[in-house]
Structure 1
Amino acid sequence: MDKQETVDSWQMATLFLAFMTGSAIVNIPAPLTAAAGNGAWLSLIIANGAGMLLLACILYLRRRYPGMTMIDYSRKVLGNGMTVLLAFPFVLTVILMFSYIVLDIGGFFASSLLIQTPSYAVHSLIILTAALTARAGIEAMARMFILLLYSMYFFIFLVLMLVQPYFHPEYLLPAFPQGMKPVIHGAYIAFGFPYAELILFAMVLPFVRKSDDNRLGKYMFSALLVNGLSLILVVICSIMVKGPLASELKFSVFQLARLITVQDVIERVESIVGISLIVGSYMKATITLFVVNLALSQLLKLQDNRILMFPLALVSLLLTLVMFDYEAEFTEKVTAVWPLITAVAFVFPILLITLVTVIKGKGGNGP
């Protein structure tokens, strides 16, 4: 990795919050309420708690192996052969994840803003922009994403405030009409997207300045807590506005913005909100591309860790054009299959490395 590129703990927490919230805040309410109904907020609490445990794992490994990425300390703990075996599905899954994010942005454009625009044009523009930003480096990303993240949150909370006249708190009851089984199903969906994906930051944390290490854990956990509260708030507001129909409210914040009318003066604000939501997904896509480029470069032991940026972007563009024929197929993969994929490709490797590190440490053979 490029040793000259560093960010402080606050900037890393900002990147983390942008990554965790970017596409989730617009996409998670519909499938979650479809699975868990009025108990979707509890599903998010459970999934966020599981995310806290995963975050604790990658912060623990960072303390044990300072300055190392997941690929580096996997080689140290498990050996090169096992690292290649675990990193291969990790890299493939991150490439797939990047393609999914771009597909989602394209779907949002096609259904809401640029209905007549071919999907490949939108996909190409998003991928090129993300590739150029990721190639600029993590310092440039951190500086730019702070402003974009604040703007996204401002418009989202503005929508939730202005749509308040449409709230019906009685729609939140009964909380668990079918017991806890749907809630657990919802937690499974929310864990796969977005909380299992935080493992990608095991590749990014070494970019934090050593002088700023002591505050990193506090900021990262705070960012994850803010993410959880934001998603819970959006889910609850969606339910209070649409009730049982909230599960059919795709791109929920955008759809809620369409309801806003203030004295026939302030209306049609959904376009501004839509741009903010696209910015959120763009930030997540950029960080994802940055991670997969770094992981593959370290796995192949390349001297130039940016040489693969545009080839990976091109592969992802081709994937977005051929992966799915129907939107329903894409939705099924994300809600039903993706949590299982992330559990195998992201969660299992980090838990294995953590377990072996703890055992070696207790045995007196730690690093």
Structure 2
Amino acid sequence: MNKTETVSSFQMAMLFLAYGTGSAVINIPAPLTGAARNGAWISVLLACAAGMLLLAACLYLFRVYPGLDFMEYSEQTMGRWLTVILAIPYLCAVFWMLAAIVMDIGTFFKSTMMKQTSTDLIHTLFFLLAALTARAGIEVMARMFVVLLLSMIGFIAIVLLMVSPHYHPYFLLPVMPDGIKPVLHGTYIAYGFPFAEVTLFAMMLPYVRNQDKHLQGKHMVLALLVNGVTLLASVVCSIMAEGPLAGHMKFSLFQLARLIYIQEIFERVESVIGFSLIAGSYMKATIVLFILSKVFARLAKMQDDRILIFPIALTCLLLSLTMYHNETEFVEGVNVIWPLLNNVAFNVPLILVLTVTIFKRKRRRGKPPSAA
């Protein structure tokens, strides 16, 4: 995979939307509502605003360093060895993230649709499919994921509409029964997953075609807004349908779909939401695997990162099978540790590079012109 592969700004935005929405739209409503209660929708808005700031920083750096990805302009700005030091927690966090995505889909299968299927088999097949797709390249990913993403969002919208007879708007009140602290706790959860992960996409931006780069910022911002609206709709609909139980029902949209029953014509619609979770997790896992191979290739000065994809996938497969002993540990890791790890591993390096870049540009502008 090299930079001769390019995609349009629209395709890059769709990849960004698939990466941001992914499995979050299915997983976020329950823990977010459990923490923020009726104010969960406020938490989504605050977390989305924070994600927008991170996206603005990524787009600014890409305009300053056109054609370079995050690792390349980090090395150009701060030097190779400092970049390598900052890349160590970065790589560890991305490894954990990729393993956690597949662990989540394995948990979903074991608890809902395929209870008798071995977790090892589910994880292996999932990593194999993600590795084959990532190895095919970003152009193949862009073409595939546009169809999958539109199908996923369409299915979610249909389910939310069909559940509308079960909505009770009075469940949304009072908005903040316990004050602002639960809302801030919910913001911490929603910020950590998925909005703080925006920084990772700085590794993907150089693949946009030159003639489309002037539209890149607009399309990326629009994709993030669509991501926020989708999460917001999922949270609000979950609260209106399930009330106080919304924070205690894992895979909220899956549980919502179980409420659909129309004269024995439409029933068991939850399989559609199951497909959405599978498609979303598959797209996100593939993109993260693609990014991880790129980071390794940049640090090792390799020309072709295809040879890294299957070893990385195998390593993450072993992590996904051994990292947590039970689901409780995994949930605590995602909701408590992951937002903090995101800031340390992803956002601190971004802020450092941004600060140094702004300082250098101001210093360059303030320097008087040399005499002829």
Q: TM-score, normalised by structure 2?
A: 0.97
1:94 paired with 2:64, answer no
- Measure how far apart 1:338 and its partner are: 0.4
1:299 is paired with a residue whose SS is: helix
- Is the alpha carbon distance of 1:211 and 1:163 closer, same or farther for their aligned partners in structure 2, counting shifts above 3 Å? same
Distance 1:360 1:315 in 2: 39
1:185 paired with 2:185, answer yes
Distance 2:32 2:365 in 1: 44
**Which structure 2 residue ranges, 5 or more long, are not aligned?**
367-372
- Measure how far apart 1:365 and its partner are: 7.3
Would you say the 8 A contact 2:27–2:252 is kept in 1?
A: yes
How many residues get paired?
A: 366
Distance 2:265 2:143 in 1: 35
Q: TM-score, normalised by structure 1?
A: 0.98
Distance 1:272 1:224 in 2: 24
Distance 2:271 2:212 in 1: 39
In terms of mean alpha carbon deviation, does 301-310 or 348-357 score higher?
Answer: 301-310
1:268 is paired with a residue whose SS is: coil
2:303 is paired with a residue whose SS is: coil
**Which structure 1 residue ranges, 5 or more long, are not aligned?**
none
Task: Map 1:201-220 to 2 at 5 A.
Answer: 201-220=201-220
- Measure how far apart 1:4 and its partner are: 1.2
Aligned residue type for 1:353: V
Q: What is the aligned partner in structure 1 of residue 251 from structure 2? A: 251
What do the CA deviations read for 1:13-67 (whole angstroms, capped 9, x no partner)? 0000000001100000011011100000000100000000000000001000011
1:79 paired with 2:66, answer no
1:278 paired with 2:278, answer yes
- Measure how far apart 1:307 and its partner are: 1.1
Distance 2:303 2:309 in 1: 14
What do the CA deviations read for 1:266-313 (whole angstroms, capped 9, x no partner)? 111111221122101110000000000100111111122111100000
2:364 is paired with a residue whose SS is: coil
Q: What is the aligned partner in structure 1 of residue 360 from structure 2? A: 360
Q: What is the aligned partner in structure 2 of residue 337 from structure 1? A: 337
Distance 1:44 1:355 in 2: 27
What do the CA deviations read for 1:224-250 (whole angstroms, capped 9, x no partner)? 001001101000000001111101121
RMSD: 1.0
1:275 is paired with a residue whose SS is: helix
In terms of mean alpha carbon deviation, does 256-265 or 335-344 score higher?
Answer: 256-265
Q: What is the aligned partner in structure 2 of residue 296 from structure 1? A: 296
Distance 2:254 2:14 in 1: 23
1:28 paired with 2:31, answer no
Determine what percentage of the aligned residue pairs are the same residue.
Answer: 56
Distance 2:204 2:365 in 1: 26
Task: Map 1:92-241 to 2 at 5 A.
Answer: 92-241=92-241
Q: What is the aligned partner in structure 2 of residue 287 from structure 1? A: 287
Task: Map 1:298-313 to 2 at 5 A.
Answer: 298-313=298-313
Distance 1:93 1:175 in 2: 35
1:40 paired with 2:26, answer no
Aligned residue type for 2:259: L
Aligned residue type for 2:72: D
Aligned residue type for 2:102: V
1:5 is paired with a residue whose SS is: coil
1:4 is paired with a residue whose SS is: coil
- Segments of 4+ moved more than 4 angstroms: none
Distance 2:89 2:306 in 1: 21
Distance 1:169 1:272 in 2: 25
Would you say the 8 A contact 2:105–2:281 is kept in 1?
A: yes
Q: What is the aligned partner in structure 2 of residue 326 from structure 1? A: 326
Distance 1:307 1:317 in 2: 17
2:158 is paired with a residue whose SS is: helix
Distance 1:78 1:334 in 2: 31
Distance 1:336 1:87 in 2: 22
Aligned residue type for 1:139: E
What do the CA deviations read for 1:60-99 (whole angstroms, capped 9, x no partner)? 0100001101110000000001000111111111111000
In terms of mean alpha carbon deviation, does 298-307 or 42-51 score higher?
Answer: 298-307
Distance 2:150 2:242 in 1: 27
Distance 1:273 1:176 in 2: 30
Distance 2:325 2:91 in 1: 24
2:307 is paired with a residue whose SS is: coil
Distance 1:93 1:206 in 2: 22
Q: What is the aligned partner in structure 2 of residue 11 from structure 1? A: 11
Distance 1:95 1:207 in 2: 23
1:347 paired with 2:347, answer yes
1:46 is paired with a residue whose SS is: helix
